[in-house]
Amino acid sequence: LRATRGAGGVWQVDRFAWSDPAALEFEASGAFDPANIAPLRALSVSDARVVFPLATARYARGVFAAHGFGNLALDGELHGSVEVDAQGVARLAMATEKFDARDPAHDIAVRGLRGGIDWRREGVGDAQPLAWRNARFAGWSVGALHSRWQSRDGALSGSLDAKGFGGTLRGHDVVLREPGSNGDWLRGKFSLQGMSYDSADGSLGAANVGAEATVRVSGALAAPRIVADAILRGGQYLAGSAYVELPATPIAARLDATFDANRWNIASFEWNDPGVLEVAANGEWQTTSPAFPRLRVDLRRADLARATARYARSWLGTRGYRDVSADGDLRGAFAFDAGRVREFSLAAHEVSFVDGAGRFELHDLDGALDWSAREARPPTTLGWQRIEFYKVPFGAARMHVASDTDSLRLAEPLAVDVLGGQLRLEKFIAQPASPRGDRYEASFAVVGVQLPQMSAAFGWPIFPGNLSGGIPEIEFVGDRIDFHGGLDLYLFDGHLGVNGMSLERPFGAAPALGANIHFENFDLQQVTSAFSLGGMSGRLFGTIDGLRLLDWSTVAFDAYLRTSGGGRMSYKAVDDITGIGSGAPSMQTIALKLVNTFGFGKLGLRCRLRDEVCTMGGIEPLPNDIPADDSLAARGYAIVEGAGIPRIDIVGHRRRVDWPTLVRRLREATQGQAPVIK
């Protein structure tokens, strides 16, 4: 050490040499003022040689720990020099033949680093190559990198070529400055070719990515602002249940966002797939979950035929709409904040949706909807040429919609032609910002629907007459519809009521329907005629409680059909009822040749369906406990009690019947011909 204390107590260090050959060697000179808060005035270090990991253990462990890098492990040898003045570092030059660094706590690892950097705050430094064998930063792995950098007035500029994610990353006109400095501290033009990525949980992925982008990064290192303009060319992308395969034709995208503590604050995002999909958005995205606490999306244009096929096919498939096709032009916007919708608008032009599974069709939708939780919007109209739900066709209509800050609602009742009658929508209210989530209320009436047309649409036996009735209140929350107040229908010269009805996932995967049904005073002659059963007269009453359909297949109910006041039945009716109960017609008595009809005093048939087994009963209530081995079969149960002469009683013996077998017997009975008596 050779140093002189000058006037004012400032020390001038002419030479400070340190020689620890196994760890640290350097030559230095400088000046410092012990009385100053920042005592260092100048420092020049040359011929520095640092050998790790011993240098860390002897000299730097405390420094690294103080800056949050207590687990940093370094291995290799560095050579370099540094110059510092009152304004800070003026020059830094480093070089290495081989150097490794890793810090598990920060998920940082660099292996096989070689080359050097010659940085100068002012002037031009020497161009230096810099490369590594592989590296990892915050879960992102980068393969071999080759780059070349040159310092110009405090900024490093250069180019790079890196292998990673199965492809290549290239950068040119890249400029690096000190993070946190004014303006951009990173900017450059980058290209990706053939790159792929797969997140650890499999929720995010990409393959065969091709893109060119101009990137600018500014702000603090802990909360950088990233502005990127990109052109994408092909590739496959996965985000949750959404899978997208882009074409080779260019698609433009722009992102302006700030990343801070696992949250992206997106000032703007734009996507321009010419002629297919044009979208702009802003909001927030939490990287630790798929949630968007705040989001606004402006759909500037969507050509539904191409946009659905390109962007929505897989997402729709996971929700049970694999075979949906779309057409027309759609524009609109929606915004939500803190999990609640704040506004949405829709403008449709010749829009059509067709479900290949036959659940719904919508043709030539035109018009608009507009709602905001912040202000009342002007009234709108929305119309269509044809709608079809489960093979039931509805005619053209146009509805007038009013809007306030709480809801969208029908401005006037809407009448739609259906099956020779009308569906009258008396009320419809949508509450997008309801605390319970999306909520809808409605009431409707059905007037004069022709049952023969409905029967043909559903593939049922042809019912005579017409159908009228209504539901005073419908509530739709999420993917569940509850029908409050019941449904009243008038058919077969009697009344049918449905209550406790609910429908889950009506157009999704495995829709589920629950209801209780009762009917009274049905004309048995009309019923048996409609179902091609043997002719019967009298009045039929019944209940079907706890009805449960899953994917439109019956899985549970408690049914009881009965007559009141007796009636008459044909010999074919006797045969059909016998076949349903036992599976084997048995009309063989000579007496049957002598008469066409038979009187009966009572008729009753019960079925309790559970787990594809129907527990059968007749006029009397079902026993509380029926053995699984059907040991009660010998006692039988009365289905029909005859009246008059000749007298016919029908008794069932099988208590437990396989449900598919019973359905087959019913089908055979309703489709068969009258028996031939010899």
Distance CA 8, CA 36 (A): 11
In this predicted model, what pLDDT tens digit does every residue of 166-199 receive, in sequence order? 899 999 999 999 887 778 999 999 999 998 888 7
Q: Which helix (H) or strand (E) is 147 found in, with range?
A: strand 145-152
Residues above pLDDT 70, as percent of the chain: 91
Token duo for residue 6: 């000058």
Is 504 in contact with 511 (CB distance < 8 Å)? yes
Nearest to 496 by CA among 433, 448, 544: 544
Residues with Cβ within 8 Å of residue 537, at least 6 apart in sequence: 524, 525, 567, 568, 569
Task: Determine whether 73 is exposed, middle or buried from the number of CB atoms within 10 Å of its CB (0-12, 13-18, 19+).
Answer: middle
What pLDDT band is residue 580 in, cutting at 50, 70 and 90? low
Q: For residue 617, what are the CA distances in angstroms to 123, 534, 562, 604? A: 101, 21, 11, 8
User: Torsion angle, CA of 628/631/632/635, rounded to 10 degrees?
Assistant: 160
Q: State the DSSP string of 269-319.
A: EEEEETTTEEEEEEEEEETTSS--SEEEEEEEEEEHHHHIIIIIHHHHHHT
State the pTM of this model: 0.71
In this predicted model, what pLDDT tens digit does every residue of 346-385 receive, in sequence order? 999 999 999 988 889 999 999 999 999 889 899 999 999 9
In this predicted model, what pLDDT tens digit does every residue of 98-123 receive, in sequence order? 999 999 988 899 999 999 999 999 99
Q: What is the pLDDT of residue 22?
A: 95
Q: Which helix (H) or strand (E) is 194 found in, with range?
A: strand 184-198
Higher-confidence position of 516 and 642? 516
Token duo for residue 363: 């043709």
- Judge whether residue 396 has pLDDT over 70: yes
Q: What is the pLDDT of residue 678?
A: 32
Alpha carbon of residue 474 to chain centroid = 25
Query: Within 214-262, where are the H helices?
Result: none
Q: For residue 588, what are the CA distances in angstroms to 220, 225, 255, 677, 678? A: 97, 91, 85, 7, 8
Q: What is the pLDDT of residue 322?
A: 86
Distance CA 440, CA 419 (A): 26
Hunting for tokens 């064998």 — which residue is that? Answer: 133
Helix axes 659-671 and 571-582, enclosed angle (nearest 10)? 160
Is 380 in contact with 359 (CB distance < 8 Å)? no
Q: State the DSSP string of 319-344.
A: TT-TTEEEEEEEEEEEEEETTEEEEE
Token duo for residue 382: 């929305």
DSSP letter assigned to residue 59? I
Beta bridge partners of 598: 569
Higher-confidence position of 359 and 46? 46
- Judge whether residue 667 has pLDDT over 90: no
- Judge whether residue 632 has pLDDT over 60: no
Token duo for residue 583: 């599976």
Question: In this predicted structure, which of 141-155, 329-343, 462-476 has the lowest mean pLDDT?
Answer: 462-476
Residue 302: CB atoms within 10 A of its CB come to 23
Is 41 in contact with 33 (CB distance < 8 Å)? yes
- Judge whether residue 447 has pLDDT over 90: no
User: Torsion angle, CA of 119/123/124/125, rounded to 10 degrees?
Assistant: -30
First to last CA, the chain: 132
Residue 352: CB atoms within 10 A of its CB come to 19
Q: State the DSSP string of 416-458.
A: EEETTEEEEEEEEEEETT-TTSSEEEEEEEEEEEEHHHHHHHH
Token duo for residue 14: 């002419």
Mean predicted confidence (pLDDT) in 460-477: 74
Residue 62: CB atoms within 10 A of its CB come to 9
Distance CA 109, CA 134 (A): 8
Q: What is the pLDDT of residue 579?
A: 65
Is 539 in contact with 528 (CB distance < 8 Å)? no
**Amino acid at residue number 80:** G
Q: What is the pLDDT of residue 582?
A: 54
- Judge whether residue 589 has pLDDT over 60: no
Beta bridge partners of 401: 380, 410
DSSP, collapsed to helix, strand or coil, labels residue 527 as helix
**Amino acid at residue number 544:** I
Token duo for residue 204: 């995010």
Q: Which helix (H) or strand (E) is 67 found in, with range?
A: none
Reported residue count of the chain is 678
Average pLDDT over the chain reads: 86
